[in-house]
Structure 1
Amino acid sequence: MATMEDIAKKVGVSKGTVSKALNGAADVSETLRKTIVETAVELGYTRARRGAVRTLCIFIENMGYTRPEDFGTDIVTGFRQMAEPAGFDVRVVDLNTDLERSVPYDAYMLREGYIGALFLGLSLNDPWMRDFRTSHTPAVLYDNIVPANPTVATLGMDNNEAIGRAVAALYALGHHRIGYLSSALGSHIYQVRYKSFFNALRQNGLPDDPSLAGVSYFSSETLDMHLPRLLEQGVTAVLCSSDLLAHTVMIRCQELGLQVPRDLSIVGFDDLPFCAHTAPPLSTIRQDRLQLGKSGYYALQSLLEGVPISSLLLHAALVLRASTGPAPEKAPAR
């Protein structure tokens, strides 16, 4: 097992400088810190002592995981169900941009003694997303992608397949004008779903005019501007980028005097626990979150064993409930 002395000797600095660099001391230049961290990883340096429990980390940002109904809860459970019997200790860390700006990813992992990590809820603007381009510590990113780094893998669902199935099902119900509503495209996965929607329209020979989609960071703008615009265009079904957005759209439709699904069919994405209990129950694309957690461990284990896995995508399931039905003979005019 490599030591600080080994790192210091190879870089040509003192052991104290190595210690400062790995602990994020301000009096070590970023250039030198980067060299020391890269050398430490190259030599296989770890804070874990021989015979100690190896520690993996789950970093979570912008995602709940403490309550049974939270999206991240089952992912964390699935990961632990695989990692802990295999002899790993698993830590869950709430991530924020202040932490990411304070220390590079590799340096943080060395400092804390974590040998690999699963990341949930990162946005494209997170500082560590830049670190992942050249990082050495194995990392699995849920719903994010970093190309050309053999120590970073992508985990998720096959969104193109899933949205294709939803659009095909709506088309089979007679919907020939389908709209899409999404939160802002500031994350990789919302960009993927947006593109997948238009791909699915084309595959089914349906109109793929960009005006059939409405994208906004603010739900009020989606409800007050984009939803009415889609209805004016004669849209008879709407696919939403998340269940929360779909439920909000369904409530607004009811406030407008529209009956779901008689006047408008609605489909969400994720199959959160509340979907089966809305009025009417919400059709959605189900992500098996327990299997996502288990697969996150499989991907991370592969990286730890030197297998440069690129991506691991699971099949999603389309769950049709009472919020979808046959297309109306004539689209409602609002």
Structure 2
Amino acid sequence: MPTMEDIAKKVGVSKGTVSKALNGAPDISETLRKTILETAVTLGYTRARRGAVRTLCVLIENMDYAKPEDFGYDIIAGFRQMAEPSGYSVRVVDMSKEMQRSVSYDTFMLQEGYLGALILGATLNDPWMKEFPTSRTPAVLYDNLILGNPTISTLGVDNNEAIGQAVNALCGMGHQKIGYLSGALGSHITQVRYKSFFHEIRRRKLPSGVSMAGYAYSFSECVNTHLPRLVDMGVTAVLCSSDLLAHTALIRCLELGIQVPQRLSIIGFDDLPFCAHTSPPLTTIRQDRLQIGKSGYYALDSLLNGVPISSLLLHAQLILRGSTGPAPRL
């Protein structure tokens, strides 16, 4: 296990200079601080191993979290509810691609004194995603998967099980032609849900050509392009990759005179607070976000204690409301 003496010897400075650089002392130049931090990371020195600071962070992007109705709010609350009584302080840090390009993940965590991170909203295009396969600082990634690194864990719900619940319910209502709408397939989780949908309908020997699904970068483009096409194909139910997309589909159906659920049943994913108040109320797959946050702490605490958790998946729950009903006779 490398020490500050090892870093000092490698850089050619005193142990006191290394300590100052690691702790943000103002009398160390930025150039020297950067050299010391990068050397510390290269040697494998981490504060997690030294136990110097008990601060965890939530790194977040592409996800609202300021208000109770925001998706990230309860996740962060659940994480805090577990971490703070255990003696950790928690900081929420807005993450951007510019920040990731300016400093490596391990260096950022070391210079800020964070032992580990819960990471929310990261995309496959994020610079740090390329570093996680070999990073040394513990991290739990929500809805992202990194293989082969014992300091990285995946957190989420079992999407295969969740999609299966939705398809089962629709089949039980008599639907035999089910479509799927999604945002762009630029994230791990959108790809997982897309594949899960086709796996589930093929398993039940339902129509499963690629034309049964549609996706686009913006929700309005997706709905405007693919919803009328699916209806014209005789689809009687649509599963959407998110509640926001499902709500957009509800509005478009109203504009097109497509009755929900008499002509078309619609299911969302997440169970955001507004789902109970749409017209009609939205059937959706509920993710218990408070439990996701608590489980994120559990996984991160395990990593910090040398337990290499690979994946932690929670059960999801199908919430039936007024946007789904018996299949129409076409």
Query: TM-score normalized by structure 1?
Result: 0.91
Matches within 5 A, 1:8-27: 8-9=8-9, 11=10, 13-15=12-14, 25=30
The CA deviation at 1:241 is 0.3
Cα deviation for residue 228 of structure 1 reads 1.1
User: What are the equivalent positions in structure 2 for 1:241-256 lying under 5 Å apart?
Assistant: 241-256=241-256
Match of 2:282 in 1: 282
Q: 2:45 aligns with which of 30, 41, 47?
A: 41
Q: Is the 8 A contact 2:7 2:39 kept in 1?
A: no
- Counterpart Cα distance in 1 of 2:269 and 2:45: 39
What amino acid is aligned across from residue 172 of structure 1 in structure 2?
Answer: G
Q: Secondary structure at the match of 2:295?
A: helix
Moved more, 316-325 or 221-230: 221-230
Structure 2 partner of 1:76: 76
Cα 1:210–1:21 change in 2 (3 A) is farther
Q: Report the counterpart of residue 208 of structure 1 in structure 2.
A: 208
Aligned-partner Cα distance in 1 for 2:148–2:2 = 27
Post-superposition Cα deviations, 1:32-61, rounded to whole Å, max 9, x if no partner, equal 965531314269665x74xx6x00000110
**Equivalent pair of 2:11/2:39 in contact (CA under 8 Å):** no
Aligned CA RMSD, in angstroms, stands at 2.3
Shift in Å, 1:220:
2.8
Q: 1:230 & 1:198 partners in 2: Cα distance?
A: 15
Superposition pairs of residues 128-207 of structure 1, within 5 angstroms: 128-207=128-207
- What is the match of residue 57 of structure 2? 57
Could you list the per-position Cα deviations for residues 262-309 of structure 1 after superposition, in whole angstroms to 9, with x for gaps in the alignment?
Answer: 000000000000000001000000000000000000000110000111
Residue type of the alignment partner of 2:137 = T
Deviates more, 1:18-27 or 1:70-79: 18-27
- 2:65 and 2:71 in contact (8 A); partners too: yes
Do the aligned residues in 1 keep the contact of 2:4 with 2:18 (CA within 8 Å)?
Answer: no
Q: Identity over the aligned pairs, expressed in percent?
A: 63
Cα contact 2:2–2:45 (8 A) shared by 1: no
Partner of 2:117: 117
Instruction: String of CA shifts for 1:83-139, please: whole Å, max 9, x gaps.
Output: 000000111111111111111111111101100000000011111111111100000
C-alpha distance after superposition, 1:154-199 (max 9, x if no partner): 0000000000110111011010000000000110000000000001
- CA distance in 1: counterparts of 2:19 and 2:81, whole angstroms: 36
Query: Residue 12 of structure 1: CA displacement?
Result: 5.7
- After TM superposition, the runs of 4+ consecutive aligned structure 1 residues lying more than 4 A away are 15-30, 32-35, 42-46
Does the 8 Å contact 1:7/1:43 carry over to 2?
Answer: no
Amino acid at match of 1:287: Q
Kindly indicate whether the alpha-carbon contact (under 8 Å) linking 1:2 and 1:43 is maintained by their aligned counterparts in 2.
Answer: no
Q: Once the 2 structures are TM-superposed, how far is the Cα of residue 3 of structure 1 from its aligned partner?
A: 5.0
Offset at residue 204 of structure 1 (A):
1.5
Aligned to 1:228: 228
User: Which runs of 5 or more structure 2 residues have no equivalent in the other structure?
Assistant: none
Give yes or no for contact 1:168–1:204 (8 Å, CA) kept in 2.
no
